[in-house]
Structure 1
Amino acid sequence: MTTGTIRPEDVDLSDLEFWARPLSERNAAFTALRSLDRPPFFAEPDMSFIGAESGPGYYALVRHADIIEASRTPQVFCSSRGNIAGTFDPPPEFLEYFGSMINMDDPRHARLRRIVSRAFTHRMIAKIEDDIVRAAVRIIEDVRPAGGGDFVTEVAARLPLKIICDLMGIPEERYQRVFDLSNTVIGAFDPEYVPDFAEVAAAILAAAEELRGMVRDLAAERIERPADDLTSALVHGNVDGESLTDQELGSFFILLVVAGNETTRNAIAHGLKLLTLNPEQRDRWKSDFDRYAPTAVEEIVRLASPVTFMRRTVTRDYELNGQRFKDGDKVLMYYCSANRDEAVFPDPDAFDITRDPNPHLGFGAAGPHFCLGAHLARQEITVMFRELFRQLPDIRSTAPPERLYSSFINGIKHLPYEF
């Protein structure tokens, strides 16, 4: 399979090797799939090595309009039946750690979202803006003497990691451990994080248990001695007389450190790569940072598409884009494809920091599961690039990124850079 010669029948989204191919080939494959008259169907990959049974297959939603419709119809395309991060339905022990609100439907989803959403409003994010700026400044001061290195581990990962840990009240000496554990959870299929494929399930569960234990111990402290952090708000807050259970708190923390850490750091890393490859766009943004920042950040998120897909399960007969779905059908919504849909985005492969409108789905589509941390992610990306332009104006990547081996996260593990 090579760029320019890809036919829809050449594409197999269930082949893990597909996700190791160059990004240009993957984008060309999705362009071919969008040309079909209805959503394509794929057999499921064999996941028996983690104790999961493969089902009959799944449909891939690759058009922007299809994902919008599915996201706005949660009563048909539900989140609570199965694993939102894959086609396979994991063994029951996984749900103990990953049964967070992202895997729920209303009304339970709405109840939990009301409890935790207070920490992610515009007002609350504005309140911690100074903390975000101070963190970004310190990160840059730390790397300045070296003149370069690995942008992901030294810069991009550190800001969202610190902010999430600070929000929860996790002490600084635990930052690196949280970082390592989140890498294991989200990158378990990458041999850098779990060298033995046969140990994937055990590694994920062990990492999840350690993360849950971390927040469980912290919650016990905050019950006795509340502090000005999200953990205190969660253990003492309630909606309609209900508060989070221990399991809900643990699952939410795992979701938060993975979603709030992995996705934003990948957007920042993709941003430096895009700005290096498009110096005219970089110069334009530097010429008037505040003017272009809002649209530049949205364009980075569109092309980065940090979360590649989310799964839904159909609850009843429903027709979408020429396909008649039935109860139990599995559907994967490929945001990476929707964000390059030529029916919505003129010249979709171009990086244009002035693109407006930009109805990308990098934070999901409008609906009950739109990303709770979108405000925070935008703020962190904006602050980081403002400080990079101000303090390291000639910063650039110096080699192609080393990508995460994953079908779920469009991750960059390492990115050499210099200034």
Structure 2
Amino acid sequence: MIRMTAIDFDLSDPQFWARPPEERETAYDRLRALEHPAFFDEPDVGYAPKGPGYYALVKHADILEASRNADIFASGRGGATSIVDTPPEFAEYFGSMINMDDPRHARLRRIVSRAFTPKMIKQFEADVQTAAAAIVDDLLAKGSGCDFVTEVAARLPLKIICDMMGIAEEHYGFVFEHSNVILGGFDTEYVGEEADKPIDRILRSAGELQHLVQDLAAHRRSAPANDLVSALVTANIDGEQLTSDELSSFFILLVVAGNETTRNAISHGLRLLTVHPDQRALLTEDLDGRLPGAVEEIVRLGSPVNFMRRKLTRDHEMNGTRYREGDKVVLFYLAANRDPEVFPDPYRFDIARSPNPHVGYGGPGPHFCMGAHLARREITVMLGELLRRVPDIQAGQPDRLHSAFINGIKHMECAF
């Protein structure tokens, strides 16, 4: 076990995640320079017992190998989205396939994947273009100086996810509010001022989203429509169907992950293009040809999801380090996406970077993000629409989310 000795920061300290991005990146550089992954004590959260600690995986090679070997690096033993083992009451809302291992994970993914028919995917991909155009119409009507995050970046993924699930427009704000709370981290804007009570707000918000989807599912069972909830409640794959709790957990996963992460990628994208005018000029010279590469580089540097956690199912040696059964490892994707052994000059924003094997959607293996294709489509269409119709749009200083889990931007003024 490699304890921290020469390191003067603590990844488990909430205040570490309030530091400027440059300071956090310097910390990752120092961790990557160590011979073996560093070991940290777990955070003291109050709502769950403090565990034995965890290894911080910050190298690209470690994260790839852990992701590929999901039978050894398990997601379902205490949860993948929390460093501490989550208590049983979390499972009602957050027991989705992201926190499962095979065979349960494979079963759920099979049912959900069959509900995503090619016809449905094609329809919603077409809707992305229409929605992005309407958002830019509204932006031009509103004028310069508005909040880019709430008026542009958040609106597109929120609309697409809600439309996909069959949620009426009148509920968009409701979903946006509660997804912000669930992924609010330590941020008092979303989880309140009482430092020991954020978990209560998170569980309340999850319960509100659960009620929304269960009411919708009850209606769709008797009156199916052309949406994902209808497909899921009527799906029967080899005699298998989603239970009510499974449907709720998947819904929460989809509306939270599909809304929050793409919103942040779009926000990071405008900021990167603002502070790197040379890359912006290169992009606009051949927007259609270079935008796909630009999106991959935005996701690499933006890395909207900072980490996932795994627990070892047996003793295992990986890249020269010996781990024991029950050890926890935390996969820091943002750190891996700046690994100089994989990405030359890793802090340089280079829209022509090739190859670009980033892990912005997770590493290879069964837990690779099943919404990656749609996310890429949304980011590509939104940035393309903006750069064609508002070519001089600039991002102001970002107001960053105080969170260890999400590398988020809450607010960011834009000017044009």
Task: Note whether the superposition's TM-score is higher than 0.5.
Answer: yes
- The answer on whether the counterparts of 1:266 and 1:306 sit within 8 Å (CA) in structure 2 is yes
Q: Distance in 1 between matches of 2:348 and 2:8?
A: 25
Ranges in structure 1 where 5+ consecutive residues have no aligned partner: 1-6
Q: What secondary structure does 1:211 align onto?
A: helix
Whether 1:190 aligns to 2:178 is no
Residue identity opposite 1:199 in structure 2: K
Whether 1:416 aligns to 2:410 is no
Q: What residue number does 1:237 align with?
A: 235
Residue identity opposite 2:171 in structure 1: R
Give the RMSD, CA atoms, in angstroms. 1.3
Question: How many residue pairs get matched?
Answer: 410
Q: What secondary structure does 1:197 align onto?
A: coil
| Partner residue of 1:402 out of 379, 399, 402 | 399
Quote how far apart the aligned CAs of 1:118 are: 3.9
Q: What residue number does 1:181 align with?
A: 178
Q: What residue number does 1:133 align with?
A: 129
Structural mapping, 1:71-150, within 5 Å: 71-118=67-114, 124-145=120-141, 146-150=143-147
Residue identity opposite 2:131 in structure 1: A
Q: Distance in 1 between matches of 2:137 and 2:106?
A: 42
Q: Per-residue CA shift, 1:318-344, capped at 9, x if unaligned?
A: 011222111111110000010000000
Quote how far apart the aligned CAs of 1:121 are: 7.1
Q: Distance in 1 between matches of 2:98 and 2:124?
A: 25
Q: What residue number does 1:306 align with?
A: 304
Quote how far apart the aligned CAs of 1:163 are: 0.2
Ranges in structure 2 where 5+ consecutive residues have no aligned partner: none
Q: Distance in 2 between matches of 1:169 and 1:107?
A: 29
Q: What residue number does 2:36 align with?
A: 38
Pick closer, same or farther for the CA change 1:198–1:69 going to 2, 3 Å. Answer: same
Whether 1:54 aligns to 2:28 is no
Q: Distance in 2 between matches of 1:394 and 1:259?
A: 30
Q: What residue number does 2:286 align with?
A: 288
Q: What residue number does 1:341 align with?
A: 339
- The answer on whether the counterparts of 1:118 and 1:124 sit within 8 Å (CA) in structure 2 is no
Q: What residue number does 2:295 align with?
A: 297
Structural mapping, 1:9-28, within 5 Å: 9-28=7-26
Quote how far apart the aligned CAs of 1:84 are: 1.1
Whether 1:390 aligns to 2:388 is yes
- The answer on whether the counterparts of 2:283 and 2:351 sit within 8 Å (CA) in structure 1 is yes
Q: What residue number does 1:4 align with?
A: none
Q: Distance in 2 between matches of 1:77 and 1:83?
A: 12
| Partner residue of 1:258 out of 251, 256, 264 | 256
Q: Distance in 2 between matches of 1:231 and 1:377?
A: 19
Q: Per-residue CA shift, 1:251-299, capped at 9, x if unaligned?
A: 0000001110000000000000000000111111111111101111100
Superposition TM-score, scaled by structure 2 size: 0.96
- The answer on whether the counterparts of 1:121 and 1:375 sit within 8 Å (CA) in structure 2 is no
Identity of aligned residues (%): 62
Q: What residue number does 2:324 align with?
A: 326
Structural mapping, 1:199-278, within 5 Å: 199-278=197-276
- The answer on whether the counterparts of 1:187 and 1:404 sit within 8 Å (CA) in structure 2 is yes
